Amino acid sequence: MKFLKNVFVVAIGVLTLGAVPCSLMAQNVDASMLLHPPADSWPSYHGDYTGRRHSKLTQITPQNVNQLTLAWAFQTGRSGEIKSSPLLVDGVLYFTIPDNVWAVDARSGQQLWHYTYPPNKGDHIGQRGVAIYKDWLYFATPDAHLVSLNAKDGTVRWIVQVADVEKGYWSTEAPQIVGNHVIVGVGGDMDNLQTFIRAIDPETGKTQWQFNSTPPPGTPHTATGGTTWMSGTYDPDLNLIYWGTGNPTPVLTGSTRPGDNLYTCSIVALNPDTGKLVWAFQPSPHDTHDWDAVEIPVLVDGTFHGQKRKMLMQASRNGYFFVLDRTNGKNLLTVPFGPVNWAIGLDKKGQPIPNPKKEPSPDGVLIAPDEGGLTNFRSPSFDPKTGLFLVDAHPSWSIYFAKPADGTYGWAGADYGLWGKGVLEAIDYQTGKIRWSHELGPGGAGAGVLTTDSGLTFTGDAHGNFLALDTANGKTLWHAGAGAYIASSPITYKLDGEQYVLTSGGSVLFAWKLPSTSR
Amino acid sequence: MSVYAASSIQPALQAASSSDGAVSSKPGATAYESHCAICHGEQREGILPAFPPLVGIQHQMTDQQIIAFIHTGKGRMPAFPKLQGSELTALLHFLSTPALSASASNGNDNAADVHSSSMVEAGKSLFQQNCAFCHGRDAMGGETGPDLTRSKLVLSDVGGNKISEVVRDGRPEKKMPAFNFSSQEVSSLAAFIHSQEKKAASMKGGRRGVDVSDLQTGNAALGEKYFNGAGTCAKCHSATGDLAGIAKRYEGLQLEMRMLYPRGAKSHVDVTLPSGTKLAGTLVYQDEFVIGMKDENGTYHSWKTKNVKFHVDSPVDAHVELFSKYTDADIHNLMAYLQTLR
């Protein structure tokens, strides 16, 4: 039997090699390629380091997008939703759900290989995608391990533990490659845990440095938590990475953690080679509503009120839109982008001041937005031509409770959503004013946003419709029903002269392009 | 640093090596051995990356999907159209034997105890992986999901008869996904949730969640004033009409949540067709492209929104408009008033 198995593995190895699309020049994904990704690639979570999820491709336009047609669909056959952003390198797409990685031909939608991680105890809430460096993929697992796979065939090179699942950690994030560092984070806010951002050697899996969001548990009068479950962004000129951190623990009660609770609910700027903190900005000081500040820190170079600036923009889960000077973390703008009722004003750093009366109470407080936030992890997009920051917003109301009997460990309270809806908001970054809104339906949408240089915005609505909108005014130009909840952010790429847009609905990946004859 | 191979999956319970259920699983195990084991491994562990493991396949696919795979094959997997009847049924049964029942073999004299405690353990493990993020690791509520230990549905559930429905169908309106678990897995989940329910009831000094007694801080007289005045509640509701006896029908958190926003309230729609024909009914579906309604006979009609004129009347929207106007005291007072309507 053992002999037979080996024969099979060898045979499949040959088959797989034969199936890899031939390309004369392999796209060597290294530090310099990641700085200038070619149009026929999407080599990292955001497609590039800016986190703008904006493509220069212009073949699909507002004029022809109504002819968009299905190139192929890939059925994972699983019940879980695709929450990952696919990568594209050398004509092969890589995407995930928890415990699963697929490699799929970007031209045909045919599977090249499928890797499954062994059954494990971790929280299977989501998986946001892999990272690639040279010929190796990096995949975070529910039990907080990092797996390095051979991109050619999905075989395991090594697996390292990032954190101890027994203590309550898990992992969902797509690692980010910066230089020769694989940057990873962890989830785990059901327990009072210290969390961190860590750089791992892409070859050996060894830890290079670690930045702790919070002090170790048991440190008096301090918060734990500050999870790091989303990919950050990178400015190569300043040599800074920008990462969002999650809520403090205990989550809904602040009684044991007076003060701001640094560095929870923060945007931290770190040196990627040392992990040293250069500056930090805190969207939610002393959070008691579970509003992680892990939403994409989007990097934009442009003018702000007439002055040239290197900016960082975040539409944060707590309901505020922030514009910062990313050289030093100084605040340029703080404006809510929907109903928000928990702050009494802004401090001199431009950070909202939480209203103590809106902390969860024994008889309940009414809070906007709800715990899912005014937006969540799916990507927003920045469109440079219009200066619009497009975000899937979730105007919502909820009630929050906490009483001494709830204790001071883990969740430590209870909250209940009352009502919410989905709206795509087009925010003018100079003022924070909403230039247009596009209603996305009851409950909330949750799809990410992609814009292109031709003036198109791709997203999805609460009913599971994929939408293409005119970026200038938010009008619908094309739609198609996915038949399921859309839980990921779209990507786009050009292969063989044809532009593809990739979206997922439920557990199915859809590739769209124009009919070949229409061009 | 722990390093292990992708194929080092915990061995699934071999039906043949277990005294428990060996009789019914045997034909399935034999079918598996002769048709499937060569690629998917003797213990369903798979041979990666080419051949996927089949442990836990029952909650990734329905029986129908598995049968389709077996009969038509896929990619490099050959079709087995002749696998039919009792052999197929036995194989499906074998594939659904969870690896988890392996823990039942740990020595204990009382067989029934072994069964129930291993059920709870198995359910706990499933719960941690699939449910804990929303409902909390202890099932007492967490991110988004309610406390299950004080859910009316859970309290009235016997052996999973009600829980199973929610698990299988999900609650799409609340974004709870449907899960494709086997009956045995659902039973184990129910066993775990009930064990937590017992644990929660015996916890000293109160516990997480919202008690009826927590929601008694308001002033009923001020609530009545708000109801008839600033709250504009009396525009649509009446204490002696639709709300008469409301406090007998709902209490505590459930009453408060319904007061703030009654989920499932119906909207009325009037549609005018291009011909001039008018229809009216209850709104069933509306996105920006299609509108659907049920008429008084219960018949469903839908149109492209661009082809008809329509007007939707949603009285429940008045609740949304109030959110930005309430103070917390208004809510507590209103709650106190509604609780007097018995």
> Tens digits of per-residue pLDDT, A224-270?
999 999 999 999 999 999 999 999 999 999 999 999 999 999 999 99
Prediction ipTM score: 0.91
Of A117, A190, A418, the CB nearest to B142: A190
How far A79 CA lies from chain B's nearest CA (Å)? 6
Contact yes or no for B208 and A365 at CB 8 A: no
Least-confidence region, from A477-481, B97-101, B237-241: B97-101
Residues from chain A that touch B124, judged by Cβ atoms under 8 A, are: none
Tally of domains in chain A? 1
CB contact under 8 A, A8 and B260: no
Max mean pLDDT range (A140-144, A407-411, B262-266): A140-144
Whether the pLDDT of residue A151 is over 90: the answer is yes
CA nearest B210: which of A294, A300, A360, A54?
A360
CA distance B282 to chain A (A): 17
CA distance B328 to chain A (A): 6
Q: Tell me the pLDDT band of B46, cut-offs 50, 70 and 90.
A: low
pLDDT attached to residue A351 = 98
Residue pair A87/A94 in contact by the 8 Å Cβ criterion: yes
> How close A91 comes to chain B (CA, Å)?
20
Contact B178 A476 (CB under 8 A): no
DSSP string, B205-256: T--SS--GGGG--S-HHHHHHHHHTTT-GGGT--TTTTTTTHHHH--HHHHH
pLDDT in tens, A348-373: 999 999 999 999 999 999 999 999 99
- Catalytic, A290? Answer yes
Pick among A411, A439, A459, A508 to test the B interface (most B CBs inside 10 A):
A411
What is the Cα–Cα distance from A66 to A477, expressed in whole angstroms?
6
Cβ atoms of A420 and A393 closer than 8 Å: no
Tell me whether residues A81 and B177 touch, CB distance under 8 A: yes
Query: Is B50–A77 a contact, with Cβ atoms under 8 angstroms apart?
Result: no
Amino acid B174: pLDDT: 76
Q: Return the pLDDT at B262.
A: 95
Residue B103: per-residue pLDDT:
32
CA atoms of B186 and B192, how far apart (whole Å): 10
CB contact under 8 A, B61 and A155: no
Strands (E), chain B: 268-272, 278-286, 290-294, 300-304, 309-313
CB contact under 8 A, B128 and A121: yes
Q: What is the pLDDT of residue B94?
A: 84
What pLDDT was estimated at residue A58?
A: 98
pLDDT recorded at residue B99:
57
Q: What is the mean pLDDT of chain A?
A: 94
Residue B92's nearest CA partner among B111, B116, B69, B73 is B69
- Among the partner-chain residues A12, A419, A485, the one whose CB lies closest to the CB of B320 is A419
Write down all domains in chain B, each with its CATH number in brackets: 15-101 (1.10.760.10), 106-201 (1.10.760.10), 214-263+319-338 (no CATH), 268-314 (2.30.30)
Helix (H, G, I), strand (E, B) or coil at B160: coil
- Using a CB-CB distance cutoff of 8 angstroms, which residues of chain B are in contact with residue A192? none
Residue in chain B closest to A144 (alpha carbons) equals B2
pLDDT confidence band for B204 (50 / 70 / 90): low
Lowest-confidence pick of A491-505, B20-34, B234-248: B20-34
B132 confidence band (pLDDT: 50, 70, 90):
confident
Has residue A471 got a pLDDT over 60?
yes
Q: Answer yes or no: are the C-beta atoms of A432 and A445 closer than 8 Å.
A: no
What is the chain A residue with the closest CA to B65? Answer: A77
Distance between CA A462 and CA A180 in Å, rounded?
A: 40
Closest-CA residue in chain B for A103? B49
- Residue B42 scores a pLDDT above 80: no
What is the count of residue pairs from A and B with beta carbons less than 8 Å apart? 184
- What's the gap between Cα A376 and its chain centre? 9
A50 with A35: CB under 8 angstroms?
A: no
pLDDT exceeds cutoff 60 at B4: no
Instruction: Report the gap between the CA of A504 and the closest CA in chain B (Å).
Output: 16
CA atoms within 13 A on the CB side of A305: 7
Which residues of chain A neighbour B51 with C-beta distances below 8 Å? 8
Which domain does A355 fall in, by range? 2-22+29-518
Q: Are A5 and B53 in contact (CB < 8 Å)? A: no
CA max distance for chain A: 73
CATH number, domain of A405, equals 2.140.10.10
Span B69-95, pLDDT tens digits: 888 887 778 888 888 888 888 888 888
Catalytic residue among A189, A290, A292, A370: A290
> According to the model, what pLDDT value does residue B36 have?
87
> Percent of chain A, pLDDT > 70?
95
pTM: 0.82
DSSP B109: S
